[in-house]
Structure 1
Amino acid sequence: MDSQAAMLSSLPIHFPSWQLNTLDIPPHTQTVDIIVCVHNALADVQRCLESIKTYSTAPYHLILVDDGSATETHDYLADYAKGEMATLLRNEQARGYTCAANQGLHASQNPYSLLLNSDTIVSAHWLERLVACANSAPEIGLVGPLSNTASWQSIPAIESKGDWAENPLPTDMSVPQFANRVAALSNRLYPRIPFLNGFCLLIKRAVITQIGYFDEARFGQGYGEENDYCIRARQAGWQLAIADDVYIYHAQSKSYSHERRKQLAERAGIALTEKHGQTTIDTGVTICRHDKVIEGIRTRAKYLLERWNIVAQGQYHWRGKRVIFMLPVLEAGGGSNVVISEVRAMRRMGVDAVILNFLHHKTTFEKSYPQLDIPVIYTPTDFDLPRYCEGYDAVIATANYSIQWIAPLATQPNPPIIGYYIQDFEPYFPIEKAIRYRWFWRSAWIRRRLASYYFRRNADFRLAWLSYLQIPNCKLFTKTHWNKKELHYQLGKESQLVGASYNADLFVPRLNRTEKTDRLRISAMIRPSSSRRGALRTMQILQRIYQEFTNQIEIILFGVAEDNPAFQALPRDFAYQNLGLQTPEQLAILLAQIDIFVDFSNFQAMGLTAMEAMASGAAVIVPTIGGSDSFAVHQKNALMIDTSKTTDCYAALKQLITDNTLRNTLMKQAPQDIAKFYPEKSAYRILKVLFGEQ
Structure 2
Amino acid sequence: MRSRPDTTPMTRDPGWELRHELERARAELRAARERIAWMESSRFWKARNAWWSLRELAGGLLGLGTRRPGPPPLPRPEALEAPAGIPGRGARPSPAWRTGANVDVLVLVPDGRARVPEDLDPVIRHTRPPYRLVLVAHGSGEGRDPLRGFSRTQRADLLECEEGVERDAAILRGLAASRAELAAVVEAGAVLGPGWLDRLVACAESDGRIGMVRPLGPGDLAGPAAGPGDADAGLPAGPAGVRLLASIVADGAPPSYPRIEEVDGPCVLVRRGLLDGSGRGPEAGGHGPRSLADLSRRSRLAGWQSAVADDAYVAGPPGNGVWGPAPGGGSRVLEGKRLRVREGLRRRRLREECRARFEGRRVLFVLPVLDRGGGANVVLSEARAMLRMGVDARVLNLAQFREGFLRSYPDVEVPLLFAAPSEIPRAARGFDAVVATAFSSVEWLLPLSRSATPPVLGYYVQDFEPSFFPEGSRDHQRAWDSYTLLPGVRRFAKTEWNAREVETRAGVSCSVVGPSFDADLFRPVEEEPPTETLRVAAMVRPSTPRRQPALTLEVLERAHRRLGGRLEATVFGVSEDDPAYVALKRPFPYGCAGELHDSALVSLLNRTHVFLDASRYQAMGLTAMEAMGCGATAIVPSAGGAGSFAEDGRNAVFVDTSTADAAVDAIERLADSPDLRARLAREARASVVPFHPEAVAGRVLTVLFGDA
TM-score by length of 1: 0.84
Residue 464 (structure 2) pairs with residue 397 (structure 1): no
Deviation at 1:24, TM superposition (A): 4.0
Task: Describe the SS at the equivalent of 2:683.
Answer: helix
Task: Please list the CA deviations of residues 357-408 of structure 1 after superposition, one character each: whole Å capped at 9, or x if unmatched.
Answer: 11221121111112212122111x3222212211111110111121111112
Aligned partner of 2:504: which letter? Y
Q: Which residue of 2 aligns with 1:238?
A: 304
Q: Give the whole-Å Cα distance in 1 for the aligned partners of 2:99 and 2:118.
A: 24
Residue 407 (structure 2) pairs with residue 367 (structure 1): yes
Residue 148 (structure 2) pairs with residue 78 (structure 1): yes
Equivalent pair of 1:98/1:216 in contact (CA under 8 Å): no
Q: Which residue of 2 aligns with 1:181?
A: 248
Structure 1 residues 631 and 328: alpha-carbon distance in aligned structure 2, compared to 1, 3 A threshold: same
Task: Please list the CA deviations of residues 395-427 of structure 1 after superposition, one character each: whole Å capped at 9, or x if unmatched.
Answer: 101111211111121011000110000111112
Deviation at 1:328, TM superposition (A): 0.7
Taking only aligned residues, the RMSD between alpha carbons, in angstroms, comes to: 2.8
Aligned partner of 2:416: which letter? V
Deviation at 1:683, TM superposition (A): 0.7
Equivalent pair of 1:48/1:122 in contact (CA under 8 Å): no
| Equivalent residue for 1:36, pick from 101, 104, 107 | 107
Q: Which residue of 1 aligns with 2:216?
A: 146
Deviation at 1:333, TM superposition (A): 0.9
Task: Please list the CA deviations of residues 313-344 of structure 1 after superposition, one character each: whole Å capped at 9, or x if unmatched.
Answer: 22222222211111111111111110011111
Task: Describe the SS at the equivalent of 1:197.
Answer: coil
Aligned partner of 1:233: which letter? S
How many residue pairs were aligned?
622
Equivalent runs, 1:50-65 vs 2, <5 Å: 50-65=121-136
Residue 494 (structure 2) pairs with residue 479 (structure 1): yes
Q: Which residue of 2 aligns with 1:577?
A: 591
Q: Which residue of 1 aligns with 2:60?
A: none
- After the TM superposition, which of the residue ranges 77-86 and 592-601 deviates more from structure 2? 77-86
| Equivalent residue for 1:552, pick from 563, 566, 581 | 566
Deviation at 1:158, TM superposition (A): 5.2
Task: Describe the SS at the equivalent of 2:469.
Answer: helix
Q: Which residue of 1 aligns with 2:447?
A: 408
Q: Give the whole-Å Cα distance in 1 for the aligned partners of 2:256 and 2:453.
A: 49
Task: Describe the SS at the equivalent of 1:550.
Answer: helix
Equivalent pair of 2:562/2:668 in contact (CA under 8 Å): no
Residue 266 (structure 2) pairs with residue 199 (structure 1): yes
Residue 126 (structure 2) pairs with residue 126 (structure 1): no
Q: Give the whole-Å Cα distance in 2 for the aligned partners of 1:194 and 1:288.
A: 11
Task: Describe the SS at the equivalent of 2:413.
Answer: coil
Residue 223 (structure 2) pairs with residue 157 (structure 1): yes
Task: Describe the SS at the equivalent of 1:551.
Answer: helix
Task: Describe the SS at the equivalent of 2:120.
Answer: helix
Equivalent pair of 1:193/1:288 in contact (CA under 8 Å): no
Structure 1 residues 241 and 556: alpha-carbon distance in aligned structure 2, compared to 1, 3 A threshold: same
Structure 1 residues 236 and 92: alpha-carbon distance in aligned structure 2, compared to 1, 3 A threshold: closer
Q: Give the whole-Å Cα distance in 2 for the aligned partners of 1:392 and 1:185.
A: 28
Task: Please list the CA deviations of residues 197-238 of structure 1 after superposition, one character each: whole Å capped at 9, or x if unmatched.
Answer: 332111111000011235589999x9x833322111111111
Q: Give the whole-Å Cα distance in 1 for the aligned partners of 2:221 and 2:87.
A: 20
Residue 334 (structure 2) pairs with residue 319 (structure 1): no
Task: Describe the SS at the equivalent of 1:248.
Answer: strand
Deviation at 1:517, TM superposition (A): 8.0
Q: Which residue of 1 aligns with 2:164?
A: 94
Equivalent pair of 1:300/1:675 in contact (CA under 8 Å): yes
Equivalent runs, 1:268-347 vs 2, <5 Å: 289-347=329-387
Q: Give the whole-Å Cα distance in 1 for the aligned partners of 2:336 and 2:307.
A: 15
Q: Give the whole-Å Cα distance in 1 for the aligned partners of 2:169 and 2:326.
A: 29
Equivalent pair of 2:89/2:388 in contact (CA under 8 Å): no
Unaligned runs of 5+ in 2: 1-84
Equivalent pair of 1:67/1:96 in contact (CA under 8 Å): yes
| Equivalent residue for 2:461, pick from 415, 422, 429 | 422
Q: Give the whole-Å Cα distance in 2 for the aligned partners of 1:17 and 1:215.
A: 49
Aligned partner of 1:690: which letter? L
Residue 611 (structure 2) pairs with residue 621 (structure 1): no
Equivalent runs, 1:205-224 vs 2, <5 Å: 205-214=272-281
Q: Give the whole-Å Cα distance in 2 for the aligned partners of 1:24 and 1:65.
A: 28
| Equivalent residue for 1:464, pick from 464, 472, 479 | 479
Equivalent pair of 1:25/1:129 in contact (CA under 8 Å): no
Deviation at 1:636, TM superposition (A): 1.6
TM-score by length of 2: 0.83
Q: Which residue of 1 aligns with 2:257?
A: 190
Structure 1 residues 285 and 180: alpha-carbon distance in aligned structure 2, compared to 1, 3 A threshold: closer
| Equivalent residue for 2:669, pick from 647, 650, 655 | 655
Q: Give the whole-Å Cα distance in 2 for the aligned partners of 1:648 and 1:285.
A: 43
Equivalent pair of 1:214/1:226 in contact (CA under 8 Å): no
Q: Give the whole-Å Cα distance in 2 for the aligned partners of 1:216 and 1:489.
A: 81
Task: Describe the SS at the equivalent of 2:636.
Answer: strand
Structure 1 residues 41 and 286: alpha-carbon distance in aligned structure 2, compared to 1, 3 A threshold: closer
Aligned partner of 1:330: which letter? L
Equivalent pair of 2:525/2:630 in contact (CA under 8 Å): yes
Q: Which residue of 2 aligns with 1:279?
A: none
Structure 1 residues 210 and 92: alpha-carbon distance in aligned structure 2, compared to 1, 3 A threshold: closer
Deviation at 1:168, TM superposition (A): 5.3
Task: Describe the SS at the equivalent of 1:546.
Answer: helix
Structure 1 residues 548 and 286: alpha-carbon distance in aligned structure 2, compared to 1, 3 A threshold: farther
Q: Which residue of 2 aligns with 1:525?
A: 539
| Equivalent residue for 2:174, pick from 104, 107, 132 | 104
Task: Please list the CA deviations of residues 165-190 of structure 1 after superposition, one character each: whole Å capped at 9, or x if unmatched.
Answer: 12454369432233223222353111
Q: Give the whole-Å Cα distance in 2 for the aligned partners of 1:684 and 1:674.
A: 18
Equivalent pair of 1:296/1:509 in contact (CA under 8 Å): yes
Equivalent pair of 2:141/2:162 in contact (CA under 8 Å): no
Q: Give the whole-Å Cα distance in 1 for the aligned partners of 2:285 and 2:703.
A: 65
- After the TM superposition, which of the residue ranges 458-467 and 568-577 deviates more from structure 2? 458-467
Task: Please list the CA deviations of residues 33-83 of structure 1 after superposition, one character each: whole Å capped at 9, or x if unmatched.
Answer: 2222232464566443110011112222222222234744x2321221222
Aligned partner of 2:249: which letter? V
| Equivalent residue for 1:678, pick from 688, 692, 698 | 692
Q: Give the whole-Å Cα distance in 2 for the aligned partners of 1:44 and 1:158.
A: 33
Equivalent pair of 2:464/2:498 in contact (CA under 8 Å): yes
Aligned partner of 1:369: which letter? Y
Q: Which residue of 2 aligns with 1:117?
A: 187
Structure 1 residues 218 and 545: alpha-carbon distance in aligned structure 2, compared to 1, 3 A threshold: farther
- After the TM superposition, which of the residue ranges 642-651 and 615-624 deviates more from structure 2? 642-651
Q: Give the whole-Å Cα distance in 2 for the aligned partners of 1:218 and 1:122.
A: 36
Task: Describe the SS at the equivalent of 2:308.
Answer: strand
Residue 313 (structure 2) pairs with residue 247 (structure 1): yes
Equivalent runs, 1:584-603 vs 2, <5 Å: 584-603=598-617
Deviation at 1:288, TM superposition (A): 5.0
Structure 1 residues 180 and 140: alpha-carbon distance in aligned structure 2, compared to 1, 3 A threshold: same
Aligned partner of 1:395: which letter? V
Between the aligned residues of both structures, percent identity stands at: 37
Deviation at 1:648, TM superposition (A): 0.8
Q: Which residue of 2 aligns with 1:271?
A: none
Task: Please list the CA deviations of residues 134-155 of structure 1 after superposition, one character each: whole Å capped at 9, or x if unmatched.
Answer: 0011111111001114xxxx21
Structure 1 residues 163 and 667: alpha-carbon distance in aligned structure 2, compared to 1, 3 A threshold: farther
Unaligned runs of 5+ in 1: 1-14, 266-283, 432-453
Task: Describe the SS at the equivalent of 2:504.
Answer: helix
Residue 207 (structure 2) pairs with residue 137 (structure 1): yes
Q: Give the whole-Å Cα distance in 2 for the aligned partners of 1:45 and 1:634.
A: 58
